Structure 1
Amino acid sequence: MPASRVLDELLSRRSGPLPRVAVIGAGMSGLALARVLTGAGFGVRVLDKGRGPGGRLSTRRSADGGTFDHGAQYFTARDPLFRSLVEAWVAEGVVAEWHGRIGTLTRGVVSPAKESVRYVGVPGMNAVAKALADGLDVRTGVRVERVEREAGAWRLTSETGEDLGLADVVVAAVPAPQAVQLLAGAPVLAAQAGTVGLSPCWAVMARFEAPVAVELDGAFVEDSPLSWVARDTSKPGRAPGERWVLHGSPEYSAAHLEEAAEAMAPKLVEAFGQALGRDVRAVEAVAHRWRFAMPSPPLDATSLFDPALGLGACGDWCAGPRVEGALLSGVALARRIADR
């Protein structure tokens, strides 16, 4: 089955007048929800503050013409629905298995990690988001600031004061701390979202002149300011070169949250060298701050929804901090909206 049909045909087609749905956030969760409801006949708009869809399914271009996956690094597929979707993406060339050597790195000591089938988007992680967004009504570059009740519906307003129209159902598919404000019209839901904390993550995109001498392509790093490092160029479909993504640990990232990106890049490159047990020098190093990266812990619910008010929320902070969890949260909320 083509990937587009896996979610488009998940629910039976509805008839008659259907509620207008606005989805705030074009990450995996919001796009999955929009895909399912659009396939069932609902009118759905997706609004996102970014330059393109994807959220943490993000890819950035390097100075040498290559790319970095500086957000989500890979994903696994356990749930039957998600597995069928991933299999369809693999058949279409949107996704491929990453056969990189994965392990643990502790000050120069390498240990193999547990075997697992890992997938990545091709040619970048954002390919998955682009595939999900294809054919949907997605508007980027707009940040929704207010969701206010008006004539039995919800009026959306951007941070610049632009009127974004009315919707009967509004979904906050954004990190929990951002969802709290958007769910103000449903205080119980806002309070639930407010109980979820998300750890930050400093990510550094580092390019090296020569291959880094380590028998790993990805590693969970211990006893370090880093939590994860990956040789991005070991992933399928990437341009040649020696490009690494370095993720700061939640504790280190929180302690240095407000530092300038220009200061963080050399610090985490130095930490990479310490983890390897040797000096490394990057010819390019750019830092990006993910202020809301990992839920700790996630909410014990797959999604939030008030059917009477028509307000809801979904994301990996509901169903688990994985790409799969984000998609399943969006699908779960789509079902609840359709049942309404």
Structure 2
Amino acid sequence: MLHAAHLLRRRLRISSLPVLLCPSSPLAAAGCPTRIRVSACRPSFSISNSAMEVSGRNSDGPQVAVIGAGVAGSVCASLLAAKGLAVKVFDSGRGPGGRMSQRREKVEDGSELMFDHGAQYFTVKSAEVQHLVDKWQALGLVADWEGRFGSLNVATGEFVHETAVKKRYVGVPGMNSICKALMTTPGLQAKYGVQVAGLEWADEGLGSWCLKSKDGENLGRFNAVVVADKGAAKLLFGQTASSPLLEGSELSEMHKKVAAVTAAPCFAVMMAFPSPLDLIPLDGFLVEGSKIVSWAARDSSKPGRVTTSSDCWVVHSTEAYATGIIAQAGMAKPSNELLAAVANDLLTGFQSLLPNMPTPTYMKAHRWGGAFPTTSIAPEEKCIVIEDRRVAVCGDFCVSPKVEGAILSGMYASERLGSIL
């Protein structure tokens, strides 16, 4: 069994880079002490061009569970599957994307409206991410958003156009298109509407992870786990002192870091107007000086969107406003009445920016309770890998609160975990 796993590992190796983790892999030798290792190497990454899911692939080889189908989890899962590993993704949402989700709404006249109600776009600075994004662009998954951007000063009522040229990418036809495509990588399966609430390590043999859902369903046994969700990361590290999942004095600081991960809340309101708001000279702008509105974007100006006569906008609240609402209402699922009140507040705040703004024909609010991290726990390492338990933790909360940070974290997690499988 051990010899077969060793041969499989050699057969699946596709990178010519040196091993980024210690050579005494847990699949080759049991009982090595827990280590968190980092590397300054720049891994090379690839993405499958296939758009068809293949089930049951490599059923005799290492099985990897990925918790979270946001961009970090989707990137990591796709790259691991491209190495030939069997990967299963679990996410509590209705589909992949996380805060890169897109909302589709049908209105009374039968037309469909589309809103990127979370992340509006992303930028790229690192060469590794740029290489991957170039491939996505060649596949038609992303495009440049060549809009007009800047800010609005509430005190003066003046719109200020940005002077620096910044390349902004958007998913086509929605921000979630990237994650949806990555989920079709051969060897990868996804299960949505499932919240992982139990992680149990079994020491017998080479050791494995057993995952359970919030409803108590047994989700399977896996050789390795990728945690690409803040809540699951806290579950992994947050066991009681009497029954820790991950032991060792070297992990004490990591326990503290993960426990300290915080995120800023935000309300997003999706609005559709019967005609273009031509008096607004920008397609996306920061709002300076408002207590309610922090950002507004003309979604219908993005490339690849469904053609409609409506002018679609997404308005984000300030953190202070969202925090105040949550302090009063709590973190339970918001009622329709609460969301309607929030939508009216943000509409009032938005209308105050522009005299004679028409009434929207469609309006709906969405709460992001903790989608925008305010801390980075592994900015240099890009991810956390615990070798002897074959666990990788990745996400924007590891690198930076941006889409690029999440992509980079998922890429590094796939390379480092893949090197020990």
CA distance in 2, matches of 1:91, 1:312: 29
**Match of residue 12 from structure 1:** none
Listed as ranges, the matches of 1:218-297 within 5 Å are 218-224=284-290, 225-238=292-305, 239-240=307-308, 241-257=310-326, 258=329, 260-277=338-355, 279-297=357-375
Give the 3-state SS of the residue equivalent to 1:244 in structure 2: strand
1:186 and 2:246 aligned? yes
**Match of residue 193 from structure 2:** 141
Contact map agreement 2:67 2:90 (CA 8 A) in 1: yes
CA distance in 1, matches of 2:294, 2:236: 32
CA distance in 2, matches of 1:277, 1:186: 58
1:124 and 2:185 aligned? no
**Match of residue 67 from structure 1:** 114
- CA deviations over 1:77-101 (Å, ceiling 9, x no partner): 2222221222222222221111111
CA distance in 1, matches of 2:360, 2:222: 49
- CA deviations over 1:88-125 (Å, ceiling 9, x no partner): 22222221111111110122310012320111111111
Give the 3-state SS of the residue equivalent to 1:270 in structure 2: helix
CA distance in 2, matches of 1:31, 1:92: 17
> TM-score, normalised on structure 2?
0.74
Indicate the structure (1 or 2) with the bigger Cα radius of gyration.
2
**Match of residue 10 from structure 2:** none
CA distance in 1, matches of 2:170, 2:260: 31
Letter of the structure 2 residue corresponding to residue 179 of structure 1: A
1:83 and 2:136 aligned? no
Listed as ranges, the matches of 1:303-318 within 5 Å are 303-318=383-398
1:115 and 2:184 aligned? no
CA distance in 2, matches of 1:157, 1:177: 15
Listed as ranges, the matches of 1:44-63 within 5 Å are 44-62=87-105, 63=107
The structural deviation recorded for 1:277 is 5.0
Letter of the structure 2 residue corresponding to residue 35 of structure 1: S
Letter of the structure 2 residue corresponding to residue 269 of structure 1: L
The structural deviation recorded for 1:178 is 4.3
Backbone CA RMSD of aligned residues: 2.1
> TM-score, normalised on structure 1?
0.91
**Match of residue 261 from structure 2:** 196
CA distance in 2, matches of 1:121, 1:166: 34
Letter of the structure 1 residue corresponding to residue 142 of structure 2: V
Contact map agreement 2:196 2:232 (CA 8 A) in 1: no
- CA deviations over 1:175-202 (Å, ceiling 9, x no partner): x344201344236344321122110111
Letter of the structure 1 residue corresponding to residue 375 of structure 2: P
CA distance in 2, matches of 1:314, 1:276: 41
Change in 2 beyond 3 A, CA 1:280/1:181: farther
CA distance in 1, matches of 2:219, 2:293: 41
Contact map agreement 1:18 1:43 (CA 8 A) in 2: yes
The structural deviation recorded for 1:271 is 0.9
The structural deviation recorded for 1:18 is 5.0
The structural deviation recorded for 1:128 is 1.1
Give the 3-state SS of the residue equivalent to 2:280 in structure 1: coil
CA distance in 1, matches of 2:371, 2:356: 29
CA distance in 2, matches of 1:178, 1:253: 24
Contact map agreement 1:180 1:191 (CA 8 A) in 2: no
1:205 and 2:260 aligned? no
Among 32, 36, 41, the alignment partner of 2:75 is 32
Structure 2, gaps ≥5 residues long = 1-44, 50-57, 240-244
- CA deviations over 1:28-69 (Å, ceiling 9, x no partner): 101111111112222211111111111111111132412000
CA distance in 2, matches of 1:252, 1:210: 29
Give the stretch that moved more between structures: 99-108 or 300-309.
300-309
**Match of residue 320 from structure 1:** 400
Letter of the structure 2 residue corresponding to residue 58 of structure 1: S
Letter of the structure 1 residue corresponding to residue 218 of structure 2: D
Structure 1, gaps ≥5 residues long = 10-14
**Match of residue 157 from structure 1:** 212
Letter of the structure 1 residue corresponding to residue 168 of structure 2: R
Letter of the structure 2 residue corresponding to residue 205 of structure 1: M
- CA deviations over 1:285-304 (Å, ceiling 9, x no partner): 11111111222132233112
Contact map agreement 1:270 1:280 (CA 8 A) in 2: no
Letter of the structure 2 residue corresponding to residue 112 of structure 1: H
Contact map agreement 1:171 1:314 (CA 8 A) in 2: yes
CA distance in 2, matches of 1:312, 1:133: 19
Contact map agreement 2:149 2:284 (CA 8 A) in 1: yes
The structural deviation recorded for 1:171 is 1.6
Give the 3-state SS of the residue equivalent to 1:319 in structure 2: coil
